[in-house]
Homo-oligomer: A and B are copies of this chain.
Amino acid sequence: MLIETGSRAKAASRLMARASSARKDTALLALAGALDEARASIQSANDIDVQTARANGLSEAMLDRLALNDERITALCADLRHLTELPDPVGVRFDETVLPNGLRLRKQRVPLGVLGVIYESRPNVTMDVAGLAIKTGNAAILRGGSETIHSNRALVAVIQRTLLACDLPADAVQFIDSPDRGLILELLKLHDYIDIIIPRGGAKLHAFCRENSQIPVITGGMGICHLFVDESADLTASLDVIFNAKVQRPSTCNSLDTTLVHMAVADEFLPCLVRHLAKAGVSFRAEPRALAHLSALDPALSTAVYAAGPEDFDTEWLSLVLGLKVVADLDEAMAHIARHSSAHSDGILTGSSENAARFIAEVDSAAVYVNASTRFTDGGQFGLGAEVAVSTQRLHARGPMGLPELTTYKWVAEGQYHVRV
C-alpha cells in the first residue's frame, strides 16, 4: 500500500527539484495565509484529538504538546513566512574549477529527494516539515502520532490544497492517514523511494528506525552533555553558565547532565554550585569525591544531594538533576567525556588558552564549547535560520542541521566534446 505513496512522492520530488525559488517562496506565503484562514477548522480537528487523548488518560504534559492553540498557529504562520527570507540552497554552485584539459567542473546543490519523517505527538511538526520540504525542493512522507491524526489530516489538507493552487504537486507532502503502527515498518522499507528518514522523537524511535531500515537515518535528539570546570575558571561566571545550561530548559537535549570539577577548586566551587542550583529545584548525583566536598552543607541543602548510582553518568536527565564529579585534571575530565558523552555538546570553563585548545582538539562532540553554555546547540542559536534536526551521527551533517543539510549535490562537467586520454 505504501509503495504507491512512495512512488507518488518520488515523482513529486522530481517536480519539486525543478521549482524555482520564487515559486517555492510563493507557496510558503500562500500556505501561511491558508493556515491563518483555516484556524477554525484546524482547531476543531485538533479538539477531537485533545478530547480523545484526555479520555484516554494522557498526561497534562502530553495534552499540552498536542494542542494547536491560536498562539501556536500564529507561530507556525510566522515560521513559514520566515522561511521565505532565507536563501534557497538549491542550485548553489561551489568548488568551481577548470581542469587542465579545459573541462569546466563544479558542484551544484540539489534536493535530497524524498524525506520520510516519523514523529510523535506534536502536530506543529507537520507544518514545520512541510515548510522545510517546500523550501528545499524535497518531497516528504509524514507519519505523525496516531493521537494527532485529526489535526494532521486537517493540516495536510491545507498544505495539499495550497501546493496545487501554486502549481506544485500535492503529492510533495503526503501523510500516512492511518493509526496502524505496522505502517511505520512499511515506511522504513521504502528504500527505493525514500532518501532519508528523519525521526523526531526519543532515543527509542531513533534506534527503531536504524534497526529496521536500509534508508539513511538522521540520528539525533539525545544528549548527555558535560561542562568541565577547570582550576583556572572564573568560578562566579561558571556558576551562571552551569545554571543556564541546567535550568533554562532542562527537557531539551542540549541541557547539561554532568558537571566535572577540577579537584583544585572543588572545595570552593561545589558547595556554591549546589546552593545556587538547589534554589531552582535542582537535585544532584555526586560520585564519592564530589560527595566528600559536600559533607558540610546545611541539612536543608544536603537532602538535594544523592550518591551517584552506577548508571547515573550514562543518563540523559531531561529534568532538574545534575551529575557531579571531581576529576584530577583535564585528562581525567576528557577521559570521562570520551566514555560517557553522547557526543552532542560538551564544554570546558577555563582561563587557560592551552587547556581550551586541548579540549577543542581532543573532545570529539558535535558541538565543543569553551566558556559557554551547552544550550547554544540549536539551529536558531547558531544562526542557521531554520532547524531541521540536531544530528549526533557523523556522516552527512553533524550538530544543528539547517536548510543546506536537506540538500546534496551533483557534479556538473561541461566540455567541448572532451574525451579521457
A residues neighboring B (CB under 8 Å):
14, 17-18, 97, 99, 103, 105, 108, 110, 112-113, 191, 195-196, 210-211, 214, 216, 234, 237-238, 240-241, 243-245, 248, 338, 349, 356, 360-362, 364-373, 375-377, 381-383, 393-396, 398-400, 408-420
When the two chains form their complex, are residues B415 and A369 in contact, meaning their CB atoms are under 8 A apart? yes
Question: Which of A195, A366, A396, A418 has its CB near the most chain B CB atoms (within 10 A)?
Answer: A418
Query: Knowing A99-B382, A216-B216, A382-B99 touch, does A364 contact B419 (C-beta < 8 A)?
Result: no
When the two chains form their complex, are residues A241 and B418 in contact, meaning their CB atoms are under 8 A apart? yes
A15 CA to B208 CA, complexed, in Å:
32
- In the assembled complex, which residues on chain B have CB atoms less than 8 Å from the CB atom of A191? 210
A47 CA to B59 CA, complexed, in Å:
71
Nearest CB of chain B from residue A127's CB, rounded to whole Å = 25
When the two chains form their complex, are residues B394 and A360 in contact, meaning their CB atoms are under 8 A apart? no
Question: Among B210, B376, B411, which residue has its beta carbon within 8 angstroms of that of A368?
Answer: B411
A364 CA to B10 CA, complexed, in Å:
12
Query: Knowing A365-B410, A371-B418, A382-B411 touch, does A113 contact B394 (C-beta < 8 A)?
Result: yes
Question: Among B364, B383, B417, which residue has its beta carbon within 8 angstroms of that of A372?
Answer: B417
When the two chains form their complex, are residues A398 and B408 in contact, meaning their CB atoms are under 8 A apart? yes
When the two chains form their complex, are residues A234 and B349 in contact, meaning their CB atoms are under 8 A apart? no
When the two chains form their complex, are residues B418 and A364 in contact, meaning their CB atoms are under 8 A apart? no
Query: Knowing A238-B417, A349-B417, A419-B240 touch, does A398 contact B371 (C-beta < 8 A)?
Result: no
Q: Which residue of B lies closest to A383 (CB)?
A: B99
A416 CA to B353 CA, complexed, in Å:
12
CB pairs A–B below 8 angstroms (14 shown)? A14-B364, A195-B394, A234-B417, A240-B419, A364-B410, A368-B412, A369-B413, A370-B412, A371-B415, A372-B413, A372-B414, A372-B419, A373-B418, A377-B411
**Which 7 pairs from chain A and chain B are nearest by CB?**
A372-B415, A244-B419, A237-B417, A372-B418, A375-B420, A396-B396, A367-B411
When the two chains form their complex, are residues B408 and A370 in contact, meaning their CB atoms are under 8 A apart? no
Query: Knowing A240-B419, A244-B419, A371-B414 touch, does A408 contact B383 (C-beta < 8 A)?
Result: no
Query: Knowing A103-B372, A240-B417, A395-B395 touch, does A110 contact B408 (C-beta < 8 A)?
Result: no
- In the assembled complex, which residues on chain B have CB atoms less than 8 Å from the CB atom of A364? 14, 17, 110, 410
Question: Which of A97, A238, A349, A417 has its CB near the most chain B CB atoms (within 10 A)?
Answer: A417
Question: Among B113, B376, B413, B419, which residue has its beta carbon within 8 angstroms of that of A420?
Answer: B376
- The complex is assembled from copies of this chain, and their number is 2
Nearest CB of chain B from residue A419's CB, rounded to whole Å = 4
When the two chains form their complex, are residues B395 and A241 in contact, meaning their CB atoms are under 8 A apart? no
Nearest CB of chain B from residue A413's CB, rounded to whole Å = 5
When the two chains form their complex, are residues A417 and B371 in contact, meaning their CB atoms are under 8 A apart? yes
A373 CA to B248 CA, complexed, in Å:
58
- In the assembled complex, which residues on chain B have CB atoms less than 8 Å from the CB atom of A400? 411
When the two chains form their complex, are residues A395 and B408 in contact, meaning their CB atoms are under 8 A apart? yes
When the two chains form their complex, are residues A413 and B367 in contact, meaning their CB atoms are under 8 A apart? yes
When the two chains form their complex, are residues A410 and B398 in contact, meaning their CB atoms are under 8 A apart? yes
When the two chains form their complex, are residues A383 and B97 in contact, meaning their CB atoms are under 8 A apart? yes
Q: Which residue of B lies closest to A399 (CB)?
A: B411
A404 CA to B394 CA, complexed, in Å:
13
When the two chains form their complex, are residues B368 and A413 in contact, meaning their CB atoms are under 8 A apart? yes
- In the assembled complex, which residues on chain B have CB atoms less than 8 Å from the CB atom of A417? 234, 237-238, 240-241, 349, 371-372
Name 9 extra pairs, CB < 8 A, besides A195-B395, A373-B418, A382-B411: A105-B382, A112-B395, A113-B394, A211-B214, A364-B410, A367-B412, A368-B411, A395-B408, A398-B408
When the two chains form their complex, are residues B349 and A395 in contact, meaning their CB atoms are under 8 A apart? no
- In the assembled complex, which residues on chain B have CB atoms less than 8 Å from the CB atom of A14? 338, 362, 364
A349 CA to B377 CA, complexed, in Å:
48
- In the assembled complex, which residues on chain B have CB atoms less than 8 Å from the CB atom of A196? 394-395
- In the assembled complex, which residues on chain B have CB atoms less than 8 Å from the CB atom of A240? 417, 419
When the two chains form their complex, are residues A216 and B413 in contact, meaning their CB atoms are under 8 A apart? no
A408 CA to B372 CA, complexed, in Å:
23
When the two chains form their complex, are residues B420 and A373 in contact, meaning their CB atoms are under 8 A apart? yes
